[in-house]
Structure 1
């Protein structure tokens, strides 16, 4: 019988049939926002063990690590083999932190454009003004009764990470909120 390392499940986006590329909503001028499903994306949750927060943070320098709570992070990477990021972090953080691969369990949607803040403001009480929520800042919030890990990645670009099981209903809600501004799905 083959060993389990010979079997890998392909990462299939739950939005593959829903996030159809094209222009939608208001058609005047340029679209106010663009949506991109960041797929495939390696996502690993890292939770520092008691007293190991600083040491864990030091190991994570050089990675794309987003705050997810006190001494907790989501570490993201594109173009990595199945389980590679998890295995790498598990080895580097041995004794310092617990790690869990979330690549199959979460979906990350990027919303960008001049109206991104206006769309997000329809669903979150987080103050998204750049002075209060600058690039690199993350928050745990809810939108449309769905838990969302929200990160500003750039001036008018935000990543929204949701649990896979809620991604389709969240997609429907967020795109409906963007219709008045027009939106592009890439």
Structure 2
């Protein structure tokens, strides 16, 4: 029997037929927000083992790690080969943390623009004011009954990570919330 441990399925975005490029919603002026799907993207969940939180945090400093709970992180990378980030983190964190590849199981939607915070405020109780939610901060929340990992990545930019199976209904909901401001899909 052939070794199938390294066989990975190609990443196909579940939003490839839904996130259609163009301008939608209110047509006056420039769009208030823009949406894009970050794809393909390597995503690995890291959970520190008991008593290893500080060591795990230190080991993740060279990576784009986002808080996902006490001693838990999402590590994201673009332009990596299939399973490469997972294998690298598994080796780097051996004995101090557990890792799980989420690249096929999660979808990251980026929302940017002057009305991004207003759109997100329609669905989350997280205080998104810059004094309370600075660039780099993450939160686990719910929007439209969907679990969302929310990260502020810039002045008016946020990444929303959702489970793949909920991504299409979440996309429909979030774009509907943006209609009053007008939105662009890139």
Give distance in 2, aligned partners of 1:132 and 1:119: 17
Alignment match, 1:49: 49
- 2:97 is aligned to 97
CA shift in 2, pair 1:177/1:7, >3 Å: same
Matched, 1:112 2:115: no
Report if the CA contact (8 A) 2:8-2:83 is conserved: no
Q: TM-score, normalised by structure 1?
A: 0.98
Judged with a 3 Å threshold, the aligned counterparts in structure 2 of structure 1 residues 6 and 91 are, in CA distance, closer, same or farther, namely: closer
SS of equivalent to 2:91: helix
SS at match of 1:147: strand
Rounded Cα–Cα distance in structure 2 between residues aligned with 1:71 and 1:8: 28
CA distance in 2, matches of 1:7, 1:148: 29
* TM-score (ref. length: structure 2): 0.98
Distance 1:17 1:79 in 2: 22
Partner Cα separation in structure 2 for residue 93 and residue 49 of structure 1: 10
Counterpart in 1 of 2:182? 182
CA distance in 2, matches of 1:55, 1:167: 33
How many angstroms does 1:3 deviate by? 2.4
Spell out the pairing of 1:14-29 with structure 2 (5 A cutoff).
14-29=14-29
Give the 5 Å matches for 1:1-186.
1-5=1-5, 7-186=7-186
Q: In the TM superposition, what is the alpha-carbon distance from 1:38 to its structure 2 partner?
A: 0.3
Which runs of no fewer than 5 residues in structure 2 stay unpaired? none
Q: Per-residue deviation at 1:37?
A: 0.2
Shift of 1:145: 0.3
Query: Does the 8 A contact of 2:43 with 2:77 survive in 1?
Result: yes
Offset of residue 6 of structure 1: 6.0
Q: How big is the alpha-carbon RMSD for the aligned residues of Structure 1 and Structure 2?
A: 0.9
Structure 1 segments, 4+ long, off by >4 Å, are none
Q: How many residues align?
A: 186
